[in-house]
């Protein structure tokens, strides 16, 4: 006698217990602490902050631990937490020109005010597995210390703009849109596009940015500069009436310089693709800057037929929390619809076979 | 800009109860529902209108209000909404007429305003004959104190569908709603 | 704020509820029109019913009795999980009995029992746009809805007929609401479509990931698209339920062995259990 499966609640409880057990792994090994993740898996933490759209290294590290290292799951945990937080107000725009710089490079000039600062980068490491790291307790190589660079480090794009070679961005006092409060509508303005890209999936943006370099979109990008470091977040509480500094956050900024042939109203000049992400995330910031420039095709009067130039395509599909939800929901039961398809296909087959027989 | 009049006694649950009342009213045009009003309301507002404002209006919904200074101070304090004459999402102004309010666009008809209209009394069973979505055959709604020419204006406004204005009629603690789809015939 | 859960009643904060409530009211006032709303991240993934959950959270009160079904069943894991969520964050009473519920959240089915005026049916919707397979650009479909320009859909259905002799859509079968808006009924089987027409209960639809809410007020005309010479025909497996014997209900096909053995049982578990109990009582 057939009995329908019951006991969903117990099954769910058991699955959760098993999940907790596999998360812990071999209990004879020491448990990973959240500060260890924060300190030693810093780039994973940074990616979770960026895609989770919430700057809190401790919470992001906790999310990485809870998600067993699944970074999209961790970003989702952080987002779901973020959405319950009260809003006290909006900070002033970050001044990345006043960044405490850890790393700053320009590909467009050999040398420039503020200098080239390599910082902690993988760029020139030889990708040879370091078996010494497999052992614990190795002494670190000595890091030469230098006095922090307190000289002004002007943005490369600003140097070009002073010469009239870089298109100035339109400034606006209008309140920028917020896609976490209001749904996207099209055409989306640049502020909303940049917000979507800053929260967007690194892999998706990387692929799209790459496509613009391979002819899908007419990109001629140069890295004007990448800078990584700490910037102050400033806020004016209405009850005080003057600006106070809330603290520093780590960000990565990329300004991509692109040629623009000019239009009827504008002379030939360079235009900017912009990327800014929480934490240290150069790949993401660069991909974001390429895609930002791609999405400006229409406003600059260029053809806009490549995937990276289509607003709806890019903005609707760059969010990995949305994307993973819809892709993964296919594993939920769909047997009611499948049943109707079964009957449908059986009917169609019957009439097709009858027709063939006649 | 202070007020001595309170908001909902139990903000979360009273807002939920009042919302269900207006949801029911909007879903079944002509049905009269009772809201859960705040314990005391400022002069110029019926308990029902006060409950509707507390339930639906906040910092992101511009309001056009003409109900006196005390009512305005109360709304500013409890709802924190921007006050605006043009492009208001909610309108509580006895001088407002349907055709002058924001009706949305054919692409975004949801931007059409909601008119909160104070009337003297609402009774089911006689009066206007209402038909349309939400109504099985016809509902009868007797509205005492509706603005002159309202029914004719309503027909004009309704002809713009999907653009249009939706109305919530308030009398004491009772409400009835008129979604833009409803057809009104005078008794 | 509830001290036990650390979250607001029904999880969602009050300003979010107000925003959703405003969207629901506009949805009711414009039957079948998709109202964009500021969908929030829920503690369940997109695709698991976040739209339905946000709608339910915004309407639910302490005196409601909630029923949650997935594939017609109360005991499917996601239905169990969502029911447990609301028990935890809203403390509401829950039921598996259709007749006892005041709010029913559903994925993919409409209960077999006719719903009444005192009930609200909340659908979880993955893809609110009925035209999306024909036109993926949202800006373009918005324009088509504004003009009630649904020629593309008629052409598609007609091509089905030309190729297969009948309309080859068996679920998520598009409907016209009150003669104006083309609407996705959500992925319910076409078998359930006729239940939507002039239903006494209010029907609300929530699409979380796509950030749209829409509604069908009570007693509103909902017509499945068809042609005079090819009228709409709901499909159902031509069998009786093995458990309760129903020949009217929608059936699940259950594979019982690997030699082609199968049986058919009601998808609506409450309907089936009630009929089995009535049969047992009669015997």
Three-class SS state of A38: helix
Distance from CA of A313 to the nearest CA of C (A): 8
Structure tokens at B131: 């038909």
The residue extents of the domains of chain B are 11-176
How far apart (Å, rounded) are the C-alpha atoms in residues B56 and B78? Answer: 12
Burial of C78 (0-12, 13-18, 19+ CB in 10 A): buried
Residue of A8, A346, A354 to mutate when probing chain C, most C C-beta within 10 A: A8
In a domain, A260, yes or no: yes
pLDDT, tens only, A185-202: 999 999 999 999 999 999
Q: With DSSP H G I counted as helix, E B as strand and the rest as coil, what are the percentages for chain C, rounded to 5?
A: 30, 20, 50
Q: Do A75 and A104 belong together in one domain?
A: no
- What residues of C act catalytically? 32, 241, 244, 266, 272
Question: Over 80: is that where the pLDDT of B44 sits?
Answer: yes
How far apart (Å, rounded) are the C-alpha atoms in residues B88 and B65? Answer: 9
Q: Do A104 and A77 belong together in one domain?
A: no
Q: Is B125 on the interface with C (CB under 8 A)?
A: no
Q: Is A332 on the interface with C (CB under 8 A)?
A: yes
pLDDT, tens only, A137-158: 778 888 888 776 666 788 888 8
**Taking CB atoms and an 8 Å limit, are B27 and C180 in contact across chains?**
no
Question: Over 90: is that where the pLDDT of B119 sits?
Answer: yes
On average, the pLDDT of chain B sits at 96
Structure tokens at B9: 């006694």
Q: Do A22 and A155 belong together in one domain?
A: no
Q: Is C200 on the interface with B (CB under 8 A)?
A: yes
**Quick one: closest CA in A to C71, which residue?**
A336
Partners of C168 in the beta sheet?
none
Q: Give the number of domains in chain A.
A: 2
Structure tokens at A102: 């850890």
**Taking CB atoms and an 8 Å limit, are B110 and C33 in contact across chains?**
yes
Residue C256 backbone zone (phi > 0: left; psi -120 to 50: alpha; other: beta):
alpha
Q: Do A319 and A199 belong together in one domain?
A: yes
Question: Over 90: is that where the pLDDT of C7 sits?
Answer: no
Cβ(A275)–Cβ(A286) under 8 Å?
Answer: yes
Structural domain containing residue A40: 10-82
How far apart (Å, rounded) are the C-alpha atoms in residues B15 and B20? Answer: 9
Average of per-residue pLDDT across C189-204: 97
Cβ(B55)–Cβ(B22) under 8 Å?
Answer: yes
pLDDT, tens only, B2-14: 889 999 999 999 9
Question: Over 90: is that where the pLDDT of C233 sits?
Answer: no
Q: Which residues of C touch A76 (CB under 8 A)?
A: 41, 45
What are φ and ψ of residue C177, in 5° steps? -105, 125
On average, the pLDDT of chain A sits at 91
How far apart (Å, rounded) are the C-alpha atoms in residues C63 and C61? Answer: 6
Structure tokens at A349: 């087959």
pLDDT of residue A7: 60
Average of per-residue pLDDT across B75-91: 95
Show the low-confidence residues of chain A (pLDDT under 50).
1
Q: Do A214 and A267 belong together in one domain?
A: yes
Structure tokens at C120: 């609200």
Q: What is the number of helices (H) and of strands (E) in chain A?
A: 13, 4
Question: Over 60: is that where the pLDDT of C268 sits?
Answer: yes
Q: Do A52 and A155 belong together in one domain?
A: no
pLDDT, tens only, A273-301: 999 999 999 999 999 999 999 999 998 88
pLDDT, tens only, C252-267: 999 999 998 999 999 9
Q: Do A162 and A300 belong together in one domain?
A: yes
Average of per-residue pLDDT across B115-122: 98
Q: Do A54 and A113 belong together in one domain?
A: no
In a domain, A144, yes or no: no
Return the CATH number of B11-176, one of 2.50.20.20, 1.10.10.10, 3.40.50.11310, 3.90.1410.10.
3.40.50.11310
Question: Over 60: is that where the pLDDT of C131 sits?
Answer: yes
DSSP string, B47-98: HHHHHHHHHH--TTS-EEE-S-HHHHHHHHHHH-PPB-STT-SEEE-TT--G
End-to-end, the C-alpha distance of chain C in Å comes to 52
**Taking CB atoms and an 8 Å limit, are C267 and A351 in contact across chains?**
no
Q: Do A213 and A64 belong together in one domain?
A: no
Partners of B139 in the beta sheet?
B130
pLDDT of residue C166: 80
Q: Which residues of C touch B61 (CB under 8 A)?
A: 22
Q: Do A286 and A314 belong together in one domain?
A: yes
Last residue of a domain, one of A54, A82, A110: A82
Pairing of the two strands C65-70 and C103-107: parallel
More confident residue, B155 or A13: B155
pLDDT, tens only, A87-119: 888 899 999 999 999 999 999 999 888 889 999
Cβ(C233)–Cβ(C214) under 8 Å?
Answer: no
**Taking CB atoms and an 8 Å limit, are B13 and C19 in contact across chains?**
no
pLDDT of residue A1: 46
Nearest CB neighbour to C77, from listed A11, A329, A339: A11
In a domain, A136, yes or no: no
Q: Do A30 and A158 belong together in one domain?
A: no
Closest CA to C233 of C187, C161, C185, C166: C166
Closest CA to C170 of C189, C149, C192: C189
How far apart (Å, rounded) are the C-alpha atoms in residues B11 and B31? Answer: 25
Q: Do A49 and A161 belong together in one domain?
A: no
């Amino acid at each position: 006698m057939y009995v329908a499966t019951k006991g969903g609640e117990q099954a769910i409880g058991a699955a959760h217990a098993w999940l907790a057990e596999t998360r812990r792994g071999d209990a004879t090994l020491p448990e990973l602490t959240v500060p260890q993740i924060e300190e030693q898996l810093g780039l994973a933490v940074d990616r979770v902050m960026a895609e989770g759209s919430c700057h809190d290294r401790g919470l992001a590290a906790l999310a990485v631990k809870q998600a067993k290292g699944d970074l999209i799951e961790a970003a989702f945990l952080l987002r779901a937490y973020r959405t319950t937080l009260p809003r006290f107000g909006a900070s002033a725009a970050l001044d990345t020109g006043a960044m405490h710089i850890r790393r700053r490079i320009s590909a467009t000039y050999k040398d420039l005010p503020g200098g080239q600062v390599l910082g902690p980068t993988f760029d020139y490491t030889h990708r040879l597995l370091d078996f010494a790291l497999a052992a614990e307790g190795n002494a670190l190589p000595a890091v030469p210390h230098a006095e922090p660079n307190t000289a002004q480090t002007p943005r490369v794009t600003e140097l070009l703009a002073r010469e009239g070679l870089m298109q100035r961005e339109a400034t606006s006092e209008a309140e920028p849109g917020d896609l976490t409060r209001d749904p996207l509508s099209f055409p989306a303005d640049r502020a909303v596009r940049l917000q979507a890209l800053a929260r967007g999936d690194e892999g998706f943006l990387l692929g799209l940015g790459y496509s613009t370099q391979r002819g899908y979109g007419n990109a001629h990008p140069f890295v004007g500069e990448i800078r990584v470091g700490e910037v102050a977040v400033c806020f004016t509480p209405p009850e005080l009436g003057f600006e106070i500094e809330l603290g520093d956050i780590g960000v990565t900024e990329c300004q991509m310089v692109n040629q623009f042939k000019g239009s009827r109203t504008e002379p030939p000049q360079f235009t900017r693709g912009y990327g800014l992400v929480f934490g240290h995330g150069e790949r993401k910031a660069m991909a974001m800057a390429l895609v930002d420039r791609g999405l400006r095709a229409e406003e600059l009067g260029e053809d806009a037929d490549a995937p990276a130039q289509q607003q709806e395509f890019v903005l609707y599909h760059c969010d990995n929390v949305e994307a993973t939800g819809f892709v993964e929901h296919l594993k939920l039961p769909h047997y009611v619809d499948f049943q109707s398809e079964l009957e449908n296909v059986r009917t169609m087959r019957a009439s097709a076979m009858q027709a063939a027989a006649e | 800009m202070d007020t001595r009049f309170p908001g909902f006694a139990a903000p979360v649950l009273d807002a939920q109860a009042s919302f269900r009342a207006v949801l029911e009213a909007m879903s079944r045009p002509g049905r009269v529902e009772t809201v859960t009003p705040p314990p005391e309301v400022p002069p110029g507002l019926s308990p029902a209108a006060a409950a509707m404002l507390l339930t639906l209006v906040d910092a992101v919904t511009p309001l056009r209000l003409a109900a006196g200074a005390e009512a305005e101070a109360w709304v500013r304090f409890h709802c924190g909404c921007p006050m605006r004459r043009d492009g208001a999402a909610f309108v509580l102004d006895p001088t407002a007429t349907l055709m002058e309010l924001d009706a949305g666009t054919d692409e975004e008809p949801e931007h059409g305003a909601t008119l909160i209209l104070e009337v003297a009394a609402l009774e089911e069973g006689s009066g206007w004959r209402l038909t349309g979505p939400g109504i099985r055959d016809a509902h009868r709604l007797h509205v005492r104190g509706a603005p002159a020419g309202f029914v004719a204006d309503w027909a004009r406004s309704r002809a713009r569908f999907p653009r249009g204005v939706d109305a919530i009629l308030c009398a004491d603690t009772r409400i009835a709603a008129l979604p833009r789809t409803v057809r009104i015939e005078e008794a | 704020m509830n001290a036990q859960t650390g979250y607001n009643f029904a999880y969602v904060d009050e300003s979010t509820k107000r925003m959703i409530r405003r969207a629901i009211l506009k949805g009711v006032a414009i039957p079948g029109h998709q109202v964009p709303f500021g969908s929030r991240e829920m503690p369940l993934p997109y695709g698991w019913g976040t739209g339905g959950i946000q709608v339910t959270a915004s309407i639910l009160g302490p005196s409601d009795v909630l029923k949650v079904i997935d594939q017609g069943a109360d005991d499917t894991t996601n239905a169990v999980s969502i029911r447990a969520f609301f028990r935890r964050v809203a403390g509401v009473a829950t039921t598996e009995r259709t007749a006892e519920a005041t709010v029913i959240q559903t994925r993919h089915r409409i209960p077999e029992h006719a719903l009444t005026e005192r009930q609200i049916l909340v659908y979880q919707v993955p893809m609110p746009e009925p035209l999306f397979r024909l036109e993926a650009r949202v800006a373009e479909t918005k324009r088509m809805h504004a003009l009630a320009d649904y020629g593309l859909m008629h052409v598609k259905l007609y091509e089905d007929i030309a190729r297969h002799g009948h309309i080859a859509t068996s679920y998520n079968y598009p409907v016209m609401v009150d003669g104006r808006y083309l609407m996705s009924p959500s992925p319910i089987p076409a078998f359930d479509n006729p239940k939507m027409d002039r239903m006494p209960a209010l029907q609300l639809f929530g699409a979380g990931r796509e950030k749209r809410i829409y509604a069908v007020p009570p007693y509103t005309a909902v017509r499945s698209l068809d042609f005079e010479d090819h009228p709409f025909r709901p499909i159902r497996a031509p069998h009786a339920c093995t458990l309760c014997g129903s020949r009217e209900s929608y059936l699940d096909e259950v594979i019982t062995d690997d030699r082609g053995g199968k049986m058919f049982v009601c998808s609506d578990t409450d309907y089936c259990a009630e009929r089995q109990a009535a049969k047992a009582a009669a015997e």
